[in-house]
Amino acid sequence: MSSARVPVIPGYHGDNQDVDFLLKEADKIGYPILIKAVSGGGGKGMRIVNNAKEFEEALNSAKREATSSFGDDRVLIEKYLKRPRHIEFQVFADKHGNAVHLFERDCSVQRRHQKIIEEAPAPHMPEDLRNRMGVAAVNAAKAVGYVGAGTVEFILNCDDNSFYFMEMNTRLQVEHPITEMITGQDLVEWQLRVAAGETLPLRQEDLKINGHAFEARVYAENPRRGFLPGTGKLVHLSPPTSSPTVRVETGVRQGDEVSVFYDPMIAKLVVWDKDRKSALRKLGLSLAEYRIVGLTTNIDFLNGLSTHPAFIAGEVETGFIPRYHNDLFKPAEPPSPKALAMAVLAAIAEEKQEINHTADKRGSVNDPWTTLTGWRAGYGEARTFKFVNAIKEDSEEKGQEYTVHVTYVSQDNYKMRITHTAKGEHDVTLNVNGKVGPNGDVQARIGARLYPSSSHGNSRLGSWCWW
C-alpha cells in the first residue's frame, strides 16, 4: 500500500514476533497502540494498549484469540487513533485493467469492534476528501492486481480528516445493499459480469450518488448485557413491509431457531430516501414496525441509537456507543398497566387458537373459555397471570414482578387488578372489554380507548415474560 501511495497508519507490520522486539516497536510508535491479528477480522485478535505495563498481557491475549479464531497467532502493531471514523469504499476491477469505486460507507458505530449500523454516503464528507479517499481505494485495488468486488477500509481521523489504510476485504460485504441503493447498481450482477470476463458496466465519471441509505443489523442479542449473543426460537416474526426503498434481507423464517452454531444476525434492514433526514425517519418507522417474539433482540436499541441527537447530527465515530452509554442504556421502564392488560388478552388469544385447533381435529365445539366470554370449567371465576423481568440486568430491576388478577364480569368484559408485587405499590384496576377475532387478533377497549393488536401484541413488553 505504501508503494501504491495509499496512506498507511504508523506501525510495525513485519514478521518478528518476539515479545521484547514488539514492545520496543510499540514504544517507538507511541501509546495508545492497537495490537491486531494479521489474519484477523470481526474484531477478533484486537487489543487496545494504553501503556507499556499493559503490553505483554494484551499481546498474549490477542495471540490466544487469534490462534483460536484463525489458527494464526501473528500480530501487527499500529498507532491507535482515539476518535476515528470507519470509512470504507466499495471498489470494482475487471480483467481489462479498469477499476472504479462506488463511493463510501460510514461504518463507525460499532460494538465489540463489529458494525451495527451503516450509512451511505458518509455524513459531513467533503467532496475533495471523498475524491482523495476514492482514488486511494482504487490505487489499493490496482496495486494487488485485484479483479472483482472488494472493499477498501480506512480509518479517518476526526480531528484533522487525515485517513489511513486499514485493510481490504476481497468480497462483497454485509452492508453492500446501501451502496446499491445510492448508486442504483446491482453489485451482484457486476460481480457475475466481471467474472465472465466482461468490462465494468460503467466508468468512474458515470457513477453518481443519489439520496441516502441506512442499514441496521438486526441481531438476536442483549445490548444491556454487553451485546451478548442470544439463542432461541423465532416464535413470531413480522418484519416491516418491503418496498423499493425498504429492503429486509434475511435467511430465517418464523419458527426457525437461532442457535449457537451460526452468527446471531436475524436480518439486514435497509432503507433509502432522498436525503439523510428523510432516510433516518424511514429507518425509525421501519424499526417501530419490526416485531420479533421468542428471543431478545437489539431492535429497541437500534431505535434508541438512531434517534439519539448526536447520531441525527451525524456526529459518528467508533467510540459512539461508549461515549453516549448513559443515554443509550437508560433504566428500562416498567410496562404500563394497559400493556399488561393487552398481554393477558393476547395470552388468552393464543390459548383460543390452540384449543380451537384441537377442537377442529376432534370435531368438538369451542369451549366458552376460548371465546373470552366465560371461564373454562375447573378454572372458577378468576385467573391470575404473573409477569417477571427475565433480564434483571441491574440491581434496580432485580425481582420486579407484576400480578394481574382477572375476573369475568359479563360477556367480553373483565376486571383486571394489577399489583407491583416487588415494591408493594397500590393496586391499579382496569375495566377491560376484549374480543378475539377468527385469526387470534385481539381488540380491547380499556376505558374510552380502543386498542387493536395481534395475538403477539405483547412483543413490546421486551424482557417481560408471563405465566
- Catalytic annotation, residues: 171
Please report, as a single letter, which amino acid is at residue 195. A
CA neighbours closer than 13 Å in the CB half-sphere of residue 364: 10
CA–CA dist 203, 138 (Å, integer): 13
CA neighbours closer than 13 Å in the CB half-sphere of residue 467: 4
275 burial (CB, 10 Å; 0-12 / 13-18 / 19+) is: exposed
For 445, the grid coordinates are 377497549
327 phi, psi to nearest 5 deg = -75, -40
DSSP letter (8 states) at residue 243: B
DSSP letter (8 states) at residue 282: H
Question: Exposure string (b/e) for 372-396, b if CB count within 10 Å is 16 or more?
Answer: beebeeeeeeebebebbbebebeee
142 phi, psi to nearest 5 deg = -70, -30
**Largest separation between any pair of C-alpha atoms in the chain:** 83
**First-last CA distance in the chain:** 60
Place of cell 393496586: 427
Of 356, 321, 336, 348, nearest to 406 by C-alpha is: 348
Altogether, the residues listed in the chain come to a count of: 467
DSSP letter (8 states) at residue 369: G
427 burial (CB, 10 Å; 0-12 / 13-18 / 19+) is: exposed
CA–CA dist 15, 25 (Å, integer): 12
Report CA Rg, the chain: 27
> Would you list the DSSP string of 149-179?
EEEEEEEEETTT--EEEEEEESS--TTHHHH
